[in-house]
Chain A
Amino acid sequence: MSTTTIADLLDRAESLARSLRATGAETTNDQWRAFDSTTYRLLHELVGPERIGNHDQAISHARLGRVVNDYPSPLTTPNPQTTYNAQQAASHLGVSPATVIAQIRRQRLPATYDGRKYSIKATDLPGAGDVQQADPVSTHPVDRLSCTLGALADMAVAERSRTTTIPGFDPLRDDAQVSPVMARVLAITVAAARHGLANIPLQNANRPLAIAQYAEHALDALGDVDRPTQLNHVASFAPPSQPHGPNEELEAALRGWVTSARTELARTVPSTDVLRDIANQARHLYAVTAAVVTVSTPAAPASEEAGRAVHAELRQAAEVMHALSRQWEMVTTATRPGHEYVTATTTLHTQLNAIQQDSLSWSNHNNSARRINVDQAMTDLRYATTDLSELTHTAAQLPEPLIRSGLLFAPARILPSTMERLHDRNHGKYVAIELTEGGHVINAAQAGASAALQARATLEQLVRPSATAELPGQTPSAQSSNQELKPIRGLSGPDLY
């Protein structure tokens, strides 16, 4: 399992920050500056851009924005595409906003003006981008801490740039979800800055002192944020590039397919053959998950009953997906599926078939190379059911705009006959369907999205009571890794586990 959540990285960062207390390793100015700029980048990515539109949201978000804007003269810009308003630029430069505006008016600082505020490119700020990043192979605790926070910032960027979403889950756009994570980062910053103060050459001590003071002040400004956050469950996957054994092969195939499916769904006019295949793949995944549940259920009457209930729920979801698949078959956008998607879905089908036919077979239990770790497979499949809820939700949004745009076609013969369609019917042509004629596919797509959510919730309930149960055939290392897995809580998004 090559999955890391934001909670995992925060735990690691806190552990590294604690370890700083026990070490008196000298910290160079470069090491501190790398930590300093990474911390700012992380805070900036967590807070994200300014909100417009909803007044309440804008006010709420401004509080977090102020925390970032108060960062004392950031050493570098978070990314080259960033733009700042005058106040943010002033914070970077360590001057007042009036000075920045004066610089702009004297044409010393390039900026654009939209009639309300100035917009300044991050790359135009003096001194931008001259901080060397932490060495990823260094064993120095400050470097390791910087790399961990950098990985966190990368995850925030990846999560914010997702092309597909799920209703009810968008933690990076919910300040209540972001604040607790910011607080933990600021606490880590205080610990690291105090360590920096004690171990950095004296002539460079001003900066850690300023950051420690800022972080303490920012912690107070955030207020009481001691609450659970869904942001902790955002996950990043790094499947093995050369998988060995059925578990790694399954994980790699699942991740490859999900990535390809997202790409296909993000096309301007997606292929209905792909939409149909996503439904078919969902059906297959539920079938294999049901088989894995059957094998993994402990031989106790209560567990067996729960296993049967899950099996029935998954079969019901598979039937909905099968019906959806048949609806997509009736229409077309005339877009062909991408080759990468077809390769990815073929690979996943092959892996799922192999699990059903070989790895779960009792006759194959003597072949240790092909024996599957059922618990780990179940975890991968649970991740996949969450991905399915995201993909089917995105797919359910497609029929209506496609129909309204005149991009969803069906054979004129199967549509209601009109004078305009007479010629097309007689010549066996496809015609764009009307919104009133697309009810079946719209409803089926929405039913598919609901079924995927239900299937996911069902698996959640199954895993909660048995999270600590040991399953036959587990290796010691597998047991160790499973102890770190946490049960899922509440409705989640694509990477909420």
Chain B
Amino acid sequence: MTDQHHCTSANQPAAELDTLTRACVHVDAAARKLETAARGDAFSPLLVPAGQLALIRGGIDPTIRAAADPNDHLEFIAHVDHALSLLDSVPASAGPPDLLVWTLRLHDLRDELQAAWVQQP
């Protein structure tokens, strides 16, 4: 198992990481963005999609975490879009056999994420 928790951010040069890992990092980064936006409010609706994103990332690879990156200026939805784009480009033999299902879940979640963000005061 390789730790991506403290050494990998979504902005890390692409050549250093494989596509699947970069996708997971983007998913986790999106979850972190939403958690940060919740500002510690335990009743915040933003924590729901954040948890769902973390669960999907765990389904793809439970050992990958995104680093907290102060230079990350991407919106959470951009992270999700990047992740979807990367997941779509993973060769069929490179990822887990159920990668298609996790990609589909992430795709389904994207619209809900957008709606949750818009409703945020």
Residues of A within 8 A of B (CB): 271-274, 276-277, 280-281, 283-284, 286-287, 290, 315, 318-319, 321-322, 325, 329, 332-337, 339, 342, 345-346, 349-350, 352-353, 356-357, 409, 411-414, 427-430
Contacts and interface: CB of A to CB of B under 8 A. Distances in A.
Contacts of A428: 2-4, 6-7
Contact of B51 (A271, A277, A318, A414): A277
A342 B55 contact: yes
B42 interface: yes
A79 to B, nearest CB: 37
Contacts of A280: 47-48, 51
A276 B47 contact: no
User: Which 6 pairs across A and B sit closest by C-beta, in order of nearness?
Assistant: A273-B58, A411-B3, A280-B51, A318-B42, A430-B1, A287-B43
A412 B3 contact: yes
Interface string B94-107: 00101001000100
A325 B51 contact: yes
Given A280-B51, A346-B52, A346-B105, A339 B1 contact: no
16 contacts: A273-B57, A274-B58, A276-B51, A276-B54, A280-B48, A281-B51, A283-B47, A286-B43, A319-B42, A322-B42, A325-B51, A334-B62, A336-B59, A342-B55, A345-B55, A429-B2
Given A273-B57, A283-B42, A283-B47, 15 more contacts: A276-B51, A277-B51, A280-B48, A281-B51, A286-B42, A315-B42, A329-B65, A336-B58, A337-B59, A339-B98, A342-B59, A346-B52, A346-B109, A409-B63, A413-B3
A269 B28 CA distance: 23
Nearest to A409: B1
B48 A335 contact: no
Contact of A429 (B1, B109, B112): B1
Nearest to A356: B45
B29 interface: no
Given A284-B48, A325-B51, A342-B56, A413 B62 contact: no
B42 A277 contact: no
Contacts of A329: 54, 65
Contacts of A337: 55, 58-59, 62
Provide the main secondary structure of the chain A interface: helix
A430 to B, nearest CB: 4
Contact of B43 (A315, A325, A429): A315
Given A287-B42, A411-B5, A353 B48 contact: yes
Given A318-B42, A334-B62, A413 B47 contact: no
Contacts of A411: 3, 5-6, 65
Contact of B6 (A339, A352, A356, A413): A413
Nearest to A341: B55
Contacts of A319: 42
Nearest to B56: A342
A315 B57 CA distance: 27
Given A428-B3, A429-B3, A322 B47 contact: yes
Contact of B54 (A277, A336, A414): A277
A325 B119 CA distance: 24
A254 B55 CA distance: 18
Interface string B30-70: 00000000000011010110011011111100110100000
Contacts of A336: 58-59, 62, 96
A287 B108 CA distance: 24
Contact of B62 (A271, A281, A287, A315): A271
B55 A414 contact: no
Interface string B67-107: 00000000000000000000000000000101001000100
A335 B96 CA distance: 13
B2 A413 contact: no
Contacts of A429: 1-3
Nearest to B28: A329
B58 A430 contact: no
B22 to A, nearest CB: 15
B105 A332 contact: no
Contacts of A335: 62
B42 A430 contact: no
A335 B61 CA distance: 9
Contacts of B98: 339
B2 A273 contact: no
Contact of A273 (B5, B7, B43, B59): B59
B110 to A, nearest CB: 13
A414 B5 contact: yes
A273 B45 contact: no
Contacts of B112: 350
B1 A318 contact: no
A325 B98 CA distance: 25
Contacts of B65: 329, 411
A342 B56 CA distance: 8
A376 B65 CA distance: 40
A412 B119 CA distance: 39
A342 B2 contact: no
Contacts of A321: 42
Contacts of B56: 342
Interface string B1-28: 1111111000000000000000000000
B56 to A, nearest CB: 7
B47 A284 contact: yes
